[in-house]
Amino acid sequence: MSAEEASPKTEHSVTFKDLQPDTKYAFRIISQNAAGVYTIHAKNHFTTVENGTRAIAHVQHIFDDNCVKCHTGTQPPANLNLETGQAWNNLYDMPAVKAPQWKRVVAGDREASWLFEKITNAHPAVGTQMGRLSDGDIELIGQWIDQGAHREIETPLPLLQILTSELPEGEINLAYAAKINGTGGNPPWHFAISRGALPQGLTLDAETGIIAGVPAERGSFEFKIELIDSFDDPDSTCQEFTININPESIKWQVPAEFQLQTVATDFDRPTSIAFALQSSEETSTPLFYVAERFGTILTVAQDYSKQVYAWNLLNFDPNGNFPDSGHMGLSALCVDPQSGDLFAAAVYDSAGFKLAKIIRFQSQDSGRTAAQQETILSGIAARMSHGINELAFGPDSKLYALVGDNWQPELAEDSDFANGKVLRMNSDGSAPDDNPFSNSIVYAMGLRNPSGLGWNEDGVMYLADRGPDGDDRIVRIEAGKAYGWRHISPDLAHDAIKLWEDAVNPTTMQIVPEEFYFPRAFANRLLLGLGGQTDFFDAGDYSREIRMLQFTSDDSVLVDEPFLTYTGGGQMSIRGLAFGDGGLYFCNYFGENGIDANNNTHANIYKLRWTPADSIPPAITGIEFESITDTAATVLVTVDEPVKAQILFGHAQDSLAVFLPYGDFAEQHRIVFENLAADSNYFYQFTLEDQTGHRTISAAHFFRTRLNNSDTTDITIQIASMSLRSGLVIELEDGTLQLSNGGSVAENVYLPLAGDYRFILHANADSASVAWPELSLFVDGELVSGFEINKTEDDNYVANFSLEPGLHNIAIANTSDTTGAQTLLVIDWLRVDNTNVPLGISEESHLSLPDAFALSQNYPNPFNPETTLDLSLPANGEVTAQLYNVRGQLVSTVFEGPVAAGQKKLVWNGRDGKGETVVSG
């Protein structure tokens, strides 16, 4: 075999001679530039034809450029529809339509072929593509007919090469994605790194050539990528690349004393965040849930690791154009604060129509994955982005849903349709009895495309609504009211407490809670995520920020200012505002770089945390009882700075407790506990927060009401209900009396008053009935002189002593040797009495127990393995709590016995009276 090459030039031809017929050949070109550097080009192939003449591959290209372009099936000739590569079947050995006596192509005879006569005719039909062929094209077709007009002609494969010339820069701890594009050779290709390495955290997909991940190191990284084709003797080509991973850039204007961090990354089109109920301290349990638009819900654990909770939740292909079908899918999440169940809003397809539904998910592995799902509401029209936009549980424990108008304004004020409404429902999707419209879940109407809601501390509901082209607004929602969006004479300014004439595109909203996430001055302010026109890169004045607003009681705007602003160059659209875990969380729908070549946005989850300069928490410097009666107690509390205070208060013996609302404490503050039961033990505990948000949680404090309204009282601290370790045993062994656990009877006992105390230790009836040796009392690790513990007839050991108020550790031990057999003393309880308490009362904060009997719905429900009920008692009484099945059969007695006034939690462990686990359902 030999080859003749023309003189070197930009384009040149090579002729291969002395070849065998019907044989496949391969060739490779090696070139040398002026500097003497050689380049080895990709391998190519061709096959000779049967009669030994040369293959004319260009003929197929001629037909595709002419026949196929004309024959579209919509116009003459013959209304014939041809796809690329189909011209052969309509040319070879087929009669001509206009000249049936001729075949279109007669193999080996160009003069007898109708096609060749047509393309060589000096007067072709007007408009025919065949009239535009060059003389060279006509001769090639003639040679093709002469050589047999074969239907299949192998064309040389194009050169194998890498088209991507450089890769974009990345940022540490921020999702990265880039694609290596190739061409030529014999696909499918294989990508590999032949030299060097990617930055830690990035990987190369061998099939797609996509480099993706989250870079974990900074610097400049050089490597070589090899592209390999699929021949038995594969060809390959290589190219050098560099990726620069930069330090985390400042892309946000963060308010003073706040810190913004990226806590999780590489999400695809995240739309909503919902915090899980915290049932475990394990770092692998879910912290919050994230909805991705195209049908996946993920959990982000307390260590910020990700796991799929539920997937494949859409029954249609969401990968459409944006905005269109690409703007439909999962849109909202919320968590039931009672059961911990997750609720999601999603679009589904029904006979070609897009509708919205609400799904309830339940888990059996502490919220890590969904075990069951149930649709509680469906059939709501949901055209592009105007379906269910938001879900939330209100302070009334009802589920609220915000629904767009489906691009049909006439539905917004029609109570028979869900579109353009605020919906309010029970957690099973049914209508509450107190809704404004009978047997309807409609709560408010006349909205266009509501996208965020929240409640302030007074239970007032606010909502963000998007207009058609501007007129975005904030409204205060009242039950049964219409808010102006309709088909005829729409009025979005109607009842708007804030109106933007230009589009700001509110995407998400939260109200700063009365908790410890932000400074106290921010409580009840609205935080509004604005997207502007970021969907189309034209940001506008209000784009890519979280805006803070505050309204007065008469709905005047008191604060309207940027709070957190994105200053980077990426395509930012803020979604999913949610408070939890000590901060404000949110996501960016489009990530930093928009949609990549693999149709993914690589979005991030951010946490905004308040980090005040003042780092010293408030302190309680004094607690003094001013009076205690049989029904009330007054205590004077001294703190080192003005604070907001919340009080946990309840009955000590049964661990009954109620959280009392926050109030302002001056440096000295009196508290009056009222409506108490006589001769009963109570405890209280403070949570204090100063002006910078620092908190202090005090120790538990205890007191006992008097038996009757006399000048003196017997205040008893019932240690058994505090920190006494049950089953402590005093052992008499080898002549020495010992108490297990180092002799400790009670730890951290708070004695509120100075004075004379009486120590009473009660022995269990199982204790040996013997004469006991002398016992001594140790307070805070030191023996206190003057203590004699004497056994009484009722198995009580009693001593009298004096102590200063405060926290103490109390222990008993033996101080003299004894002889005799081993004996045991089992301690049931320990109490300390104080006498001669001064009287007097001064009232400033009045705190009391519940004023009505109430039994709450159990939670969680459904449950596994246990459930809890909250019981409120205004007075002491006997309580029996029993569980029955739907047939009226007794399953279990949850509780039976006397209960003092207050709040009590009743817990059922899912077992019947025989101790066997009850079947679920």
List, for residues 153-212, the tens digit of each pLDDT value.
555 567 889 999 999 888 888 888 888 998 888 888 999 999 999 999 999 999 999 998
The tokens describing 676, both together, are 């108490």
pLDDT at 206: 94
Nearest to 291 by CA among 364, 345, 245, 237: 345
Task: Give the Cα separation of 218 and 49 in Å (integer).
Answer: 57
pLDDT in tens, 125-160: 554 556 567 777 787 788 778 877 766 555 556 788
* pLDDT range class, residue 897, cuts 50, 70, 90: low
pLDDT at 841: 25
Residue 6 pLDDT more than 50?
no
Report CA-CA distances (Å) from 9 to 12, 32, 39, 42: 6, 12, 16, 19
Torsion of CA 427, 433, 435, 440, to 10 degrees: 80
pLDDT in tens, 470-481: 899 999 999 999
CB 67 within 8 A of CB 59: no
Higher pLDDT, 293 or 874: 293
Q: Residue 485, exposed/middle/buried by CB under 10 A (0-12, 13-18, 19+)?
A: buried
Instruction: Give the residues across from 761 on adjacent strands.
Output: 797, 830
- With pLDDT > 70 as the criterion, what percentage of the chain qualifies? 63
Average pLDDT of 630-636?
A: 84
Q: How does the average pLDDT of the chain come out, rounded?
A: 75
Average pLDDT of 693-718?
A: 59
pLDDT at 585: 97
Q: Tell which phi-psi region holds residue 108, choosing left (phi > 0), alpha (psi between -120 and 50) or beta.
A: left
Nearest to 115 by CA among 79, 82, 66: 66
Lowest mean pLDDT among 6-15, 199-208, 397-406, 777-786: 6-15
CB 553 within 8 A of CB 530: no
Residue 284 pLDDT more than 60?
yes
pLDDT in tens, 799-820: 666 666 556 666 655 444 344 4
**How many CB atoms sit inside 10 A of residue 223's CB?**
18
pLDDT in tens, 348-364: 999 989 999 999 999 99
CB 853 within 8 A of CB 813: no
pLDDT at 412: 94
> Backbone phi, then psi, for 35, in 5-degree steps?
-85, 0
pLDDT at 385: 76
Average pLDDT of 590-609?
A: 84
* pLDDT range class, residue 308, cuts 50, 70, 90: very high
Higher pLDDT, 319 or 479: 479
Instruction: Give the residues across from 273 on adjacent strands.
Output: 290
pLDDT in tens, 362-378: 999 989 999 999 999 99
pLDDT at 557: 92
Interaxial angle between packed helices 135-146 and 58-70, expressed in degrees from 0 to 180 and rounded to the nearest 10:
110
pLDDT in tens, 733-759: 333 333 433 444 555 555 544 555 555
Peptide bond into 436 cis (omega under 30): no
* pLDDT range class, residue 914, cuts 50, 70, 90: low
Average pLDDT of 564-582?
A: 87
pLDDT at 336: 96
Residue 61 pLDDT more than 50?
yes
pLDDT at 65: 65
Task: Give the Cα separation of 180 and 182 in Å (integer).
Answer: 7
* pLDDT range class, residue 264, cuts 50, 70, 90: very high
> Backbone phi, then psi, for 897, in 5-degree steps?
150, 180
Average pLDDT of 65-77?
A: 62
pLDDT in tens, 25-36: 777 777 777 766
* pLDDT range class, residue 823, cuts 50, 70, 90: very low
Higher pLDDT, 412 or 675: 412
pLDDT at 317: 84
Q: Residue 584, exposed/middle/buried by CB under 10 A (0-12, 13-18, 19+)?
A: buried
pLDDT at 511: 96
CB 912 within 8 A of CB 893: no
pLDDT at 767: 47
Average pLDDT of 871-893?
A: 70
Lowest mean pLDDT among 312-316, 600-604, 732-736: 732-736
pLDDT at 298: 97
pLDDT at 84: 63
Task: Give the Cα separation of 462 and 511 in Å (integer).
Answer: 9
The tokens describing 718, both together, are 């019932």
pLDDT at 272: 97
Average pLDDT of 559-566?
A: 93
Residues composing the chain? 921
**How many CB atoms sit inside 10 A of residue 249's CB?**
13
pLDDT at 83: 65
Average pLDDT of 520-525?
A: 88
pLDDT at 22: 58
Radius of gyration of the chain (CA): 41
Whole-model pTM? 0.56
- With pLDDT > 90 as the criterion, what percentage of the chain qualifies? 32
Helix or strand holding residue 832 (H, E): strand 824-834
Average pLDDT of 662-682?
A: 78
Residue 3 pLDDT more than 90?
no
CB 29 within 8 A of CB 48: no
pLDDT at 678: 77
Report CA-CA distances (Å) from 614 to 522, 611, 710: 17, 9, 48
Higher pLDDT, 686 or 597: 686
The tokens describing 529, both together, are 């995520």
Task: Give the Cα separation of 792 and 799 in Å (integer).
Answer: 11
Nearest to 53 by CA among 152, 145, 155, 158: 145
pLDDT at 902: 60
pLDDT in tens, 425-462: 999 999 999 999 999 999 999 999 999 999 998 899 99
Lowest mean pLDDT among 131-135, 238-242, 380-384, 741-745: 741-745
